[in-house]
Copies of this chain bind each other. A is one copy, B any other.
Amino acid sequence: MKARIAVLAGDGVGREIVPEAVKVLKAVAVRYGHTFEFQSADVGGHAIDKVGVPLPAETLTIAKHSDAVLLGAVGGPKWEGLEYSLRPERALLGLREQLGLYANLRPAKLYPMLADASTLRREVIEGIDMLVIRELTGGIYFGKPKGIEKLPGGGERGVNTEVYTTEEIRRIAVVAFEAARKRRKKVMSVDKANVLESSELWRRVVTEVQKDYADVALSHIYVDNCAMQLVRNPRQFDVLLCNNIFGDILSDEAAMLTGSIGMLPSASIGAKVGLFEPIHGSAPDIAGKNIANPIATIASAAMMLSYAFQLDKEAAAIDQAIVKTLELGYRTKDIHAEGMRLVGTTEMGDAILQNL
């Protein structure tokens, strides 16, 4: 097949890990007879430095006309003094909105050879394999009214609005049930229906959608209890369906359970073009030193092959190459342990290539 891939390396370690993923994608193209065209564009702090905004129109155009977007990470101390509305992170929100990426898929899976990196006991986390599905273009992230207003009597008032429509809930629930069908057939839906009306509707619609998926078991859990259960017994989860803000919080908690967030990929899908990126940030403290772990980004490239191009065999080949490389003892600094072979960013990329 032929595909156009927009490459948005962004800031910090993004500039080092994205090239490794591109390297792997190129090798896959050669091996399996595909043609991938790569087109780079600026995003985040780099775009601010060049043209003054985190998401330039040109970048958006390139993304929109691509078949998939590979993103590194955005942000860094250099841009933290800016007003919130101009900061690098806004590029992410802009891309999500403009590309209609309403479904964010974040697998949290334990690589068994890395179990010791987790702060949780081995017996609690062994076998963790969950998929957090987060609604990504609705809820309190985008709801209106929002803003800060002066109060007549002095002082101010900050407002955001959590809002979900039947249709927004329905489409993300469908993504969750479809994903569960290919997995262990269990969806747990997170809400705060005992307090929030928006959650009451969420629970009602998800329950309704389940009727089309009789083979998938559905349960509901309050968000506070879910934050507890993730720590208490993370193995109980298969697909975890969340709204935007609950998914933001719980997917990060879930990721940390595995102990190695440098390993975890994500996919954001919805309309036509999907976006694929590691869940970790730009890690400015270790940027430019060839020590960042490229695996999360390489695994994100694998998700791209599977979700955007239905190249499941090729995606599996990448995932297997990652596992094999880890089995051979290759480790970047963040996952290093005694007796293992410490390598840099590019060497890890090379090793995965070799094991492809």
Contact = CB atoms under 8 A, between A and B. Distances in A.
Interface of A: 84, 87, 89, 93, 119-121, 124, 140-141, 143, 146-148, 151, 154-167, 192-202, 223-225, 227-228, 230-233, 245-246, 248-253, 255-257, 261
Given A223-B248, A225-B252, A257-B231, A196 B160 contact: yes
18 contacts: A119-B232, A140-B162, A146-B198, A151-B166, A156-B165, A156-B166, A157-B201, A158-B197, A158-B200, A159-B161, A159-B163, A160-B161, A160-B163, A224-B249, A224-B252, A228-B261, A231-B253, A249-B249
Contacts of A89: 194-195
A245 B119 CA distance: 26
A342 to B, nearest CB: 21
Contacts of A192: 245, 248
A227 to B, nearest CB: 4
A198 B121 contact: no
B228 A250 contact: no
Q: Can you list the 5 inter-chain pairs with the closest CB atoms, starting with the nearest? A: A158-B201, A155-B166, A158-B198, A227-B253, A224-B252
Contact of A163 (B157, B202, B232): B157
A256 B124 CA distance: 14
Contacts of A140: 140, 162, 196
A81 to B, nearest CB: 13
A143 B163 CA distance: 13
